[in-house]
Amino acid sequence: MEIILDTANLEDIRRYNDIYDITGITSNPTILAKEKAEFFPLLLEIRSIIGEKQLHVQVTGSTCEEMLKEAEALTDRLGKDTYIKVPANEEGIKTMKVLKSRGNRVTATAIYMPQQAMLAASVGADYVAPYFNRMNNMNVDSKKAIGDMAWLFEHNQIQTKIVAASFKNTQQVMDALMAGAQAVTASPELYTQMVENPMIDSAIAGFAADWEATYGDKRIYEL
Ligand code: E4P
């Protein structure tokens, strides 16, 4: 199971990279634009924080030729191991096919349907990124769609992994994993929400009160 951060915020990346054993960082043009920073310096700073962990960066061109040029610039500046995120439309699949023949790493993105995932996988994409919340917004059963992708890959011995994305709540994240996604990429806030809530606080406060009533302010290592 892989836990990925869907952010380009340096402070968050430092903090959450310290707490969790993240597999890497995913970004898209919207996420990068939010940081209002120079494109390559920001990505290089992210690279220096996460070391050799995965960095997924999306191309923005609409033709195969443009996307290939962008991919080349990305791998030149950020390293050959950079995962090139390519939208899974026809031009994108063509781009993925060339990138894979050149030994690049590829994440197929903007996935709303298992058929896109299947075609991206057929040209060797390393990951496919189904958009859980956006599918829900279209009245698509995201859990079933991810389950179908997982079934297709498993029964055809396809190595492509599913990195589910686009989450608005923690239930969606868990649903994606339960449906068969090997990886999830979510905002830092969602990971915090998974382990921070008033019930957890109350349990911890209860134990602290019972401890203090018996041992005062001494810690275990002082007894
Ligand atoms: C990740 O690959 C996607 O770009 C991202 O999760 C989309 O999320 P959104 O639907 O919240 O924009």
State what percent of residues in the chain have pLDDT above 70. 100
pTM greater than 0.85 (yes/no): yes
Residue-level pLDDT at 132: 98
Contact status, residue 66 vs residue 86, Cβ threshold 8 Å: no
Separation of alpha carbons 154 and 30, rounded Å: 32
Establish whether 94 is a catalytic residue: no
Query: What is the helix (H) or strand (E) element at residue 87, kind and residue range?
Result: strand 83-87
Residue-level pLDDT at 180: 98
Residue-level pLDDT at 71: 98
Residue 185 in contact with ligand 1 by CB distance below 6 A? yes
All residue ranges of the chain with pLDDT < 70 are none
Q: How many CA atoms lie within 13 A of 210 on its CB side?
A: 6
Q: Which of 7, 31, 59, 173, when mutated, tests ligand 1's pocket best, judged by the most ligand atoms within 8 Å of its CB?
A: 31
User: Which distant-in-sequence residues (6+ apart) come within 8 Å of 191 by Cβ?
Assistant: 3, 5, 16, 20
146-203: pLDDT as tens digits: 999 999 999 999 999 999 999 999 999 999 999 999 999 999 999 999 999 999 999 9
Separation of alpha carbons 185 and 26, rounded Å: 7
